[in-house]
Amino acid sequence: MFIVHSRTILKSLKTNRLAKVIVLRNTIFPCVFHNKVLQRHAAARFSNLTSLVSGGSLSTEKSKRSQLCFVTGSCCIPHFEKRQTGGEDAYFTTPKAVGVFDGVGGWASLGINAGLYSARLAELTQAKVKELGPCEVLKALGYAVTCNDQIGSSTAIVVGICEDRALGVSVGDSGLVIFRDGNLIFKTVEQQHYFNCPYQLGTDSNDTLHMGQKIDIPLRVGDILVLGTDGLFDNLFDEDIKLAVERTKAFHPNDAAMFLAKKALTCSLDTKRDGPFAVNSKKAGYLFLGGKADDITVLVCRVESL
């Protein structure tokens, strides 16, 4: 593993001084480095590093029930005030299942780093998916919630390929959009108790996995899935994401994920452009102007045939 600075990438991310560039087998993507307190769960957040080195994201994993797989790219940029702890987002990627988790920042008022909970949730879910298979992503997430030994709570969205369908669940305000032939064919719905208070799984939460939105969508080769935390969807409209996907569809999903995350970051720092969060806040009776600074995590998954 070699850490290098790429003028082109760093220039494009000039508003974000939190990212470095890692080059692995000619694949370039940003990675946020954790301090010691998060090293225990670094593998869960950046499991795609290992899968890329071993060829996992491009694996020809055999399955009797599915000839489809994900080729996945990822980008994670923490809020500038949380860069020392790596932020509160987490994710995992495998050739047939992916997941995004957003730790609830309100725990910080109690001196608790919610990033530890979301990272452990990602780690446990990924391990259980490998044991049970991608068709059982809901069971895997339920197991992870039950066995998580950290204090905190998190939104969650997990998706697995089962035969020729995408199965999964979304709890809270992280999201999934699916594009086919340039058209948006599916989008999850934000789940909130009230404005800016999403459903969440974890310590002392009454929300359950069964309250989440079930995902069951037929897939085709060439479909593009974009998963992200609210740092993406609070700053980019559907049309913004669609245009970004179209602009980068000829490249590896890593490039698409980086492009989307950088665009969301730029919009989050724009005080003159009202993004989705500002629009929704006005609908809820609150005044909020400009973009919303937050942790930003983006996964871009291209469906391919084994």
Instruction: Order the strands of the 224-228 sheet from edge to edge.
Output: 68-77, 296-305, 224-228, 175-180, 183-187
In a domain, 67, yes or no: yes
**Which one has a higher pLDDT value, 234 or 45?**
234
Question: Could you read off the pLDDT of 44-78 as tens digits, one per residue?
Answer: 443 443 333 333 343 333 444 569 999 999 999 99
The reply to whether 25 falls in a domain is: no
The better pLDDT of the pair 41, 273 is held by 273
Stated pTM of the model: 0.80
pLDDT the model gives residue 76: 97
Share of the chain above pLDDT 90, in %: 75
Residue 243 belongs to domain spanning: 38-305
Answer whether residue 8 is part of any domain. no
Domain for residue 14, yes or no? no
3-state SS, 50-85, equals: HHHHCCHHHCCCCCCCCCEEEEEEEEEECCHHHCCC
> Partners of 24 in the beta sheet?
27
Band of the pLDDT at 83, cuts 50, 70, 90? Answer: confident
Average pLDDT along the chain: 83
**Are the C-beta atoms of 251 and 202 separated by less than 8 Å?**
no
Count the domains in the chain: 1
Mean pLDDT over residues 190-203, rounded? 96
Q: What CATH number should be reported for the domain holding residue 230? A: 3.60.40.10
Q: Kindly state whether residue 108 falls inside one of the protein's structural domains.
A: yes
b/e per residue, 264-289, with b = 16+ CB within 10 A? bbbbbbeeeebbbbbebbeeeeeebe
- Whether residue 6 lies inside any domain: the answer is no
- To the nearest 10 degrees (0 to 180), the angle between helices 137-147 and 114-132 is 140
In a domain, 32, yes or no: no
Q: Would residue 218 count as lying in a domain?
A: yes
**How far is 83 from 7, CA to CA, in rounded Å?**
21
